[in-house]
Structure 1
């Protein structure tokens, strides 16, 4: 079972163009790039990244600016509607797009991270902050 990754971009996002120039080639991680708000230059960069990468990348274009967590949830719903995923991770920092990170994400097991809460909706029990998971050992 593959894992998903949601990365949110808005007008305050500092995009490292050097990271976007390096294509991604990991097929075990499904990526959803969320453009939050009306920022056309970010959308153009995201499409260039998608074209030069060999990953399973989707771009979700939210026309109106939403709160960060709502944009993350929209990306998680978008990923989960297309296929069954193990974990869904999210980040607002694009510097995490490095091959070592993708290898670590692809090896994660959902059983290690399942939350014990039963009052949340099932989809969001599998949604975790990438920075917490990467530093989790």
Structure 2
């Protein structure tokens, strides 16, 4: 089964440049959904350029109005599950993954398998925040602090 990553971009996230993680995740067969939360033109240009330079399966989603993080993530989840069946979906903001030591530890997160949570709605049972992933991986927390 596939694994997914949702990165929610807001109007202040136009300086994201961590394209290395996209290419490293390609080896793990991770599908990446870049969400433009608020339909900002500069953010959309950034997401389009990230998609062009990436070898990974990347697609973009643009929300017409700015929504809460959870609402934007849910929109990303719906887009992902409409295309494929996912074992795990992790969501984050660009600020949480824009760190030089992050790439290898982030890959470790995707190599682990997570158990479905039965207490969540069916759509969200395989969805994890990056903070949950940090806590599940033993010995990784020191490298995740930004």
How does the TM-score come out when normalised to structure 2?
Answer: 0.79
1:62-81 to 2 correspondence within 5 Å?
Answer: 62-81=63-82
Deviating beyond 2 angstroms after TM superposition, the runs of 4 or more aligned structure 1 residues are: 12-17
| Structure 2 portions without partners, runs of 5+ | 139-146
Question: In the alignment, which of 99, 103, 114 is matched to residue 103 of structure 2?
Answer: 99
State yes or no: 1:115 paired with 2:114.
no
Alignment RMSD (CA, Å)? 2.0
State yes or no: 1:51 paired with 2:80.
no
Distance 1:15 1:116 in 2: 38
SS at the partner of 2:87? coil
Aligned partners of 1:29 and 1:55 also within 8 Å: yes
SS at the partner of 1:110? coil
How does the TM-score come out when normalised to structure 1?
Answer: 0.83
State yes or no: 1:9 paired with 2:13.
no
Deviations 1:22-66, CA, capped at 9 Å, x for gaps: 472223111100001031101101111110110011100111111
Which residue does the alignment assign to 1:39? 40
Distance 2:105 2:47 in 1: 19
Query: Higher mean Cα deviation, 93-102 or 36-45?
Result: 93-102
